Amino acid sequence: MTEQHRLALKHLRSNDPVMKTIIREVGPCKLRPERDRFRMLVRSIISQQISTGAARSIRQRLEELTAPDGFTAASLKRFSPEQLRSAGVSPQKANYILDLAVKVQDGNVDLRQIGRFSDERVIEQLTTVKGIGRWTAQMFLIFSLGRLDIFPHDDLGVRSAIRDRYGLDELPDKEASCAIAEQWRPYASVASWYCWRSLDVK
């Protein structure tokens, strides 16, 4: 666990008794940035609105298709939508992945420099890609860039955890979620990770 994570846990435990309980149940924070930024975005697109198992299967077939080069903008750009569909990628997602590859290759989405941008500028740049919305951009900020204070208030897992752990009758709306998350700042990403993990320990 990093020093930043230690500080985050100290802050969350002292600020929020509910989060203190969740941290005790889940254990140490294992949030580790995915260093391959392009791969992370391709995986995010593949995973949209399908089960984890289905996404894993498609990802493996896509890796076989792109071998030995793997998931790079240059390697994926060589394929047609039909070829990507042979790996199980839907027609819509094949277009999204190719749009991402083109935009990364031509520098419209600059993954080498993007880590220097503000959170909002990262979101602004990524959402120029077809199929990447604010939620996917927020996942990139958390899981690829390692930003510590991202709160994905629309995320179903986070909202479910808040409902279950904070004694709400229904899924919280944006206002209610953000009010609870205010006490997590400036470590909302770490608290969100604990919300996701808390669903596994029920």
Compute the distance between CA of residue 196 and CA of residue 31 in angstroms, rounded to an integer: 11
Question: In the prediction, which pLDDT does 48 show?
Answer: 87
Question: In the prediction, which pLDDT does 202 show?
Answer: 63
Domain spans of the chain, in order of start: 3-31+150-198, 37-143
Q: Is the pLDDT of residue 50 over 90?
A: no
Compute the distance between CA of residue 112 and CA of residue 89 in angstroms, rounded to an integer: 26
Mean pLDDT, rounded, for 136-148: 96
Compute the distance between CA of residue 202 and CA of residue 70 in angstroms, rounded to an integer: 37
Question: In the prediction, which pLDDT does 201 show?
Answer: 85
Q: Is the pLDDT of residue 184 over 70?
A: yes
Please state, in angstroms and as integers, the Cα–Cα distance from residue 70 to each residue in 12, 64, 67, following that order. 39, 8, 5
Dihedral angle over CA of 49, 52, 56, 62, nearest 10: 0
Mean pLDDT, rounded, for 36-40: 94
- CATH 1.10.1670.40 fits domain 3-31+150-198: yes
pLDDT in tens, 8-36: 999 999 999 999 999 999 999 999 999 99
Q: Is the pLDDT of residue 107 over 70?
A: yes
Mean pLDDT, rounded, for 78-107: 95
Q: What is the DSSP letter of 166?
A: T
SS3 148: coil
Give me the long-range contacts of 138-144 (CB less than 8 A, separation at least 24): 139/44, 140/37, 140/40, 140/41, 140/44, 141/189, 142/31, 142/189, 142/192, 142/193, 143/31, 143/33, 143/34, 143/40, 144/33, 144/34, 144/35, 144/37, 144/40, 144/41
Residue indicated by tokens 């229904």: 170
Question: In the prediction, which pLDDT does 70 show?
Answer: 83
Mean pLDDT for the chain overall: 95
Q: Is the pLDDT of residue 46 over 90?
A: yes
Compute the distance between CA of residue 181 and CA of residue 178 in angstroms, rounded to an integer: 5
- CATH 1.20.1070.10 fits domain 37-143: no
